[in-house]
A and B are shown apart, each in its own frame.
Chain A
Amino acid sequence: MEITNYVVLAAVLFAIGATTVLLRRNAIVVFMGVELMLNATNLAFVTFARLHGDLTGQVLAFFVMVVAAAEVVVGLAIIVTIFRTRRSASVDDVNLLKG
């Protein structure tokens, strides 16, 4: 087996995550898509760390995890706040970014 299989797997997972972000309307599921994309990159990092024999990739994956955790905390807090005021978790209900 080639080690690149891991990378291909990461790419596929990343694409699925991105598609989730584009297609789903529930903010929480969209968020899960983002998490999936992050995890896919982590897999790539770990694979490349192994490929190059360099631990830095793993370190970076570690940092991604921490940042992702922070991001989840804040993001979910925002979703909760929005849900509390608008009674909806659909991203399409929030179009204040309109130009």
Chain B
Amino acid sequence: MFPWLTVLIAWPLVGAAVVGLSALVRRRTGPAGGGTGLARPLALVFSLVEVGLLVGAFLAFDTGAADEHQLGTTASWIPQIGTSYAVAVDGVGLLLVALSVVLVPLVLLAAWREQGHDEVRLRRFVALVLLLEAFMVAVFSARDVFLFYVLFEAMLIPAYFLIGGFGQGPGRRRAAVKFLMFSLGGGLIMLAAVIALYFLAVSNGVDPSRAFLVDELVAVDLGTTAERLMFVGFFIAFAIKAPMVPVHSWLPDVAGNATPGTSTLLICVLDKVGTFGMLTLCLPLFPEASRWAAPFVIALAVISVLYGAVMAIMQTDLLRLVGWTSVSHFGFIILGIFTFTPLGTAGSSFMMLNHGLATGALFLVAGFLVSRHPERSQKIAAYSGLRSTTPVLAGTFLVAGLATLSLPGLATFASEIMVLIGAFGGEPAGSAAWTLAAVPGVVLAAVYVLLTYQKIFTGAPAAGLETLPDLRVRERVVAAPLVAGLLVLGFVPSLALTYVNAPAEQSVAAVTAVDVPADAAAQMGSDK
């Protein structure tokens, strides 16, 4: 069996190394290659080949058994502490791997002119992006808790430098530190839980050399209190990553200060680790604790939905606004996961993909817009009346915006409605009421998207912006796949649902198979 995932992980690493070494090549051949060197084209070629490899992985994936983890490799890594290099994906993981792999070339292309003509900067930027790609693919396919944790933290390194070193905003260093501190804080709590998990597993008779493997840990009975504590440890880390109110503070700063490409990778892909972790680690490893915490989590998720939307409406900075919309959408995803219905969970899994496409498109198009402003202003108020001068840009922005507000015909609609309809019938106490409370989120989404569109693209053109160029060919090439993806998945959602249905049913079955002890049920009642 061909180790598709290992190849998918290794190839961007090779790419990053080659891009780094390309400096030597140019020095030897002299300055014949122009001002910006080989780094960008090389990185683009590497990321495109990666997309080709992804197609191969899709072909090799057996959709009939989408709930089984496939395409994997398992090898002992550090035998002394029982960690393994174990990678494999089910349907959900494969879709998220696909999202990361597809977004990277688009981000590279979108950032083609972003870093100016400084060759060294450019090279570092694209190398970091490739490095991040490798980590992202790996984290979505890790089947060893320790490996997952290591990758979870390792991703922060390229992300930190991408925000702090290459951002556009004046507060980028502060934002990078904030991001790092929040993530490390969460990771620390998670590490404690990971270690505890290992020791409990070993004391429960699991072979110490395999005690980090998810597949082994699933069967372990951890005991109620320990399970709940570990659930909390994992959940806090994931909630910070997913940005969930009230641990979301880092996200708007990052969105407002990083480049749109970085934000795309960070918020559309990397943050999915949070919700992905909840779905593939929290639920199967701690089913009883998940049910115990569900009413509380659902409430926070719905608060996130409304909070993010309200904050988005109040923003004056375009990129921060897009960041806040993500807080709202992640709330929907978490709502779907923690109501334990096959429909809602499938909707959440699907939404993880769609949110990446829609918000990615919005970030990148917003980036194109900002790059046109003479002062690169991110203030919404700096723009006006651009529909007549840049109709294609306006149209693309509107489509991305409509995808953000989940318009039918676009993929986001299918997933959001699945989450809402599914979550309403959820098992945890208060599911129906909280779901109804989340529904106004769709109205608020309409407000923040259309208000922004109205301010930027309608009315009389702002002074100095009368002759902005419309989207260039390169930029259209970036936007087209995202818009096409949203449309195709919107009209034929079954293309993606094939991959998420079986895993969703399986994870729901795993959770609902466990009985909640009586005292926990009483506590759930009192939580309300």
Q: Do chains A and B touch in the complex (CB under 8 A)?
A: no
List chain A positions with a Cβ less than 8 A from chain B.
none
List chain B positions with a Cβ less than 8 A from chain A.
none
